[in-house]
Chain A
Amino acid sequence: MTEPLLAVRALVVRYETEAGTVRAVDGVDLDVGVGETLALVGESGCGKSTVARAIVGIAPKTSGSIRFSGTELPPLGTARRRPFLPRLQMVFQDPDASLDPRYTVGASIDEPLQLADPKPPRGERTRRVAALLEDVGLDETFAVRYPHELSGGQKQRVCLARALATNPSLLVCDEAVSALDVSIQAQILNLLRELQERRGLAYLFITHDLRVVRHVSDRVAVMYLGQIVETAPTEELFASPAHPYTEALLAAVPSLSKRGDRTLPVVRGEIPSPLRPPAGCRFHTRCPRAFDRCPRESPPLYPKGPVETRCFLAAPE
């Protein structure tokens, strides 16, 4: 088997805080293939954004391996990292935090082109900016506009154009459509799909929104308190969730048709603090199916076909 585009193994990210050590990411493995979309889903504090930030290098990993096209990624800021910058890009939830308000849209998209090696000449760069704007569904007149003149959806398109400028093979999208109204969100999701088909892009799609997950992804990894609890092909995960937490997440999504008459009970309790994750299975404090083994032992990921489940109930007989 050839190596996937991105291979993360035993990733650990720890933070020291006044209250103690936060194990934000605690032993995560994941693969993203060429042209594939992997969704990483979970609730606040599960560590999904930290995984994304560790991959692009803005959150230093504590231990573990992050390989890209077969090569271990050197730390951000080192000369050895430079060749990887164009190929691995990230889009965030809030375009205002990513776009410099003093730069025109054109200048923002041009900036990463200057990182390219060799740097294209100026005239060529202007043409590339116009082509990138067209790729994301904006006409070239946007090049001379400033972020404050744009709507939220247009700004996110500009962030996409900027991320695509260096022709990456992997785009990490961290809640990239979460702040958008549903009609605009649909526009951006369609655009992401078109870009993938045209460019063979792979996405690591970080989101809390299960509707978006089902629409965009080929495979899904579900995180809870720093660990992956289930990985499965998307259709399989939605049709028959294997982990009780995945089941609870799906049951909690508000439905358009069944008012009040839930088939599954609402999961009880709060998400525990990542400062003090529960012993044993981390989900046992909220799990409707927990039994005596769950608080005592930590389950491994049990594989079954293409599905991996961190639950004793999925253990082979």
Chain B
Amino acid sequence: MTDRSPLLEVSGLSTELATEGRTVRAVDSVSFSVGRGEIVGLVGESGSGKSMTALSVLRLLPAAGRIVAGRVLFDGTDLVTLPEERMRAVRGRRIAMIFQDPMTSLNPYVRVGEQVAEGAVVHLGLSEAEALKKAVSLLEQVGIPDPAERARQHPHELSGGMRQRVMIAMALACDPELLVADEPTTALDVTIQAQILELVRGLVKTRGLSVLVVTHDLGVVGELTDRVLVMYAGRILESGPTGDVLARPLHPYTLALLRSMPALGGPKASRLSAIPGMPPRLDRGPFGECAFAPRCAFVHDACRRGDPALVPAGSGRERRCVLPEEDVR
């Protein structure tokens, strides 16, 4: 492996949210990296901290949010301590982002071509004519038919799938190195989702882009990512190469998540293996036990004695569980 020094290296990242006088640790000592040309998935259910982790990396936290510990090294520079002025030069230029709902990110009054061109004018100093030309070319690269005509349209004239393509074109305008995508296909129909996933895979191949994708959908993880981090209660419970993790999960939570998904083939189960109970409330922490213990099918005394550490499990994998690996099945 040549030049596999990670592009993004997050270590010990903790983020707190102040809500109704209480403080919630939404992200708890999270460490991971994204290599050059690599697609890494952050997967978890509502409240797992996956989006807060991505927003912390981008330093786009809501007003109530605050990074309280850790480093976010991007190409060697710590983004946590970077002055906002310099962060703005990184965000949008070297790190681009797309979100679930393109309508909240697109200006309804501005033609989409101009919106795609804007980044290249602001960050790259292109003239408006040059930037617009680049925008049309980008719209074509993301698979928009008749890009020159589409560039003159407003967002409301486009379908949801086309708007997400426009968002991706906008994100690519400054040739970023890292794309952060938060639930990029969640609002889309399944046939359009398949098209967007194919597009992102293609961009990674042709441009050597790195991607951090946040999703609740293990299917999207399986289709898109090289490595996956499974999050729960603000922490990583398991991580590793995607194929290995999905084929042979080493944490009871990952196993339970996979089993609670209805299968598309094979024998039909009359009952799904649901996970009992609900995710823990984070304002009650810190946990004196494994955060998943109250819902875990494999729970035993050792799980209650303390919050287990995330430890290497071989073959580039990590897990936060005191059970022997072979017992998780």
Contact = CB atoms under 8 A, between A and B. Distances in A.
Interface in B85-107: none
A221 B269 CA distance: 21
A254 B191 contact: no
Which one of B190, B201, B258, B273 has the greatest number of beta carbons of chain A within 10 Å? B190
A256 B218 contact: yes
Contacts of A43: 189-192
A266 B198 contact: yes
B222 interface: yes
A259 B192 CA distance: 17
Given A190-B271, A257-B222, A260-B201, A238 B190 contact: no
A255 B247 CA distance: 12
Contacts of B220: 254
B219 A255 contact: yes
Interface string B256-277: 1110111111001111111110
A253 interface: yes
Nearest to B223: A254
Contacts of B260: 182-183, 185-186
Contacts of B193: 252, 254
Interface string B58-89: 00000000000000000000000000000000
Given A186-B273, A255-B222, A266 B262 contact: no
Contacts of B224: 254, 259
A238 B264 contact: yes
A181 B264 contact: no
A193 B162 contact: no
Given A183-B45, A257-B247, A270-B159, A215 B194 contact: no
Given A151-B278, A181-B45, A254-B193, A186 B272 contact: yes
Interface residues of A, number: 42
A248 interface: yes
A115 interface: no
B175 interface: no
Contacts of B278: 151, 153, 184
A271 interface: yes
A182 B218 CA distance: 10
A183 B219 contact: no
Given A256-B219, A259-B222, A260-B201, A212 B262 contact: yes
Given A182-B260, A183-B274, A212-B262, A256 B190 contact: no
Interface of A is mostly: helix
A270 B162 contact: yes
A257 B246 contact: yes
A251 interface: yes
Contacts of A267: 191, 194
Interface string A255-276: 1111110000011101100000
A187 B194 CA distance: 28
Nearest to B190: A252
A249 interface: yes
B291 to A, nearest CB: 14
Nearest to A194: B271
B223 A259 contact: yes
A102 B138 CA distance: 51
B191 A266 contact: yes
Contact of A255 (B192, B223, B271): B223
Contacts of A210: 190, 264
Interface string B225-256: 00000000000000000110011000000001
B199 to A, nearest CB: 10
A258 to B, nearest CB: 8
A239 B224 CA distance: 25
A249 B191 contact: yes
Contacts of A153: 278
A44 B187 CA distance: 10
A122 B236 CA distance: 51
B272 A190 contact: yes
Nearest to A185: B260
A258 B219 CA distance: 10
Contact of B258 (A193, A256, A271): A256
Nearest to A45: B189
A235 interface: yes
A260 B224 CA distance: 7
Interface of A: 43-44, 151-153, 181-187, 189-190, 193, 208, 210-212, 214-215, 235, 238, 248-260, 266-268, 270-271, 286
Interface of B: 45-46, 159-162, 189-195, 197-198, 201, 216-220, 222-224, 242-243, 246-247, 256-258, 260-265, 268-276, 278
**Which 7 pairs of residues, A with B, have the shortest CB-CB distance?**
A254-B219, A215-B262, A186-B274, A186-B260, A183-B275, A43-B189, A181-B45
Given A44-B189, A251-B194, A254-B217, 7 more contacts: A182-B45, A187-B276, A189-B274, A253-B190, A257-B243, A259-B242, A266-B191
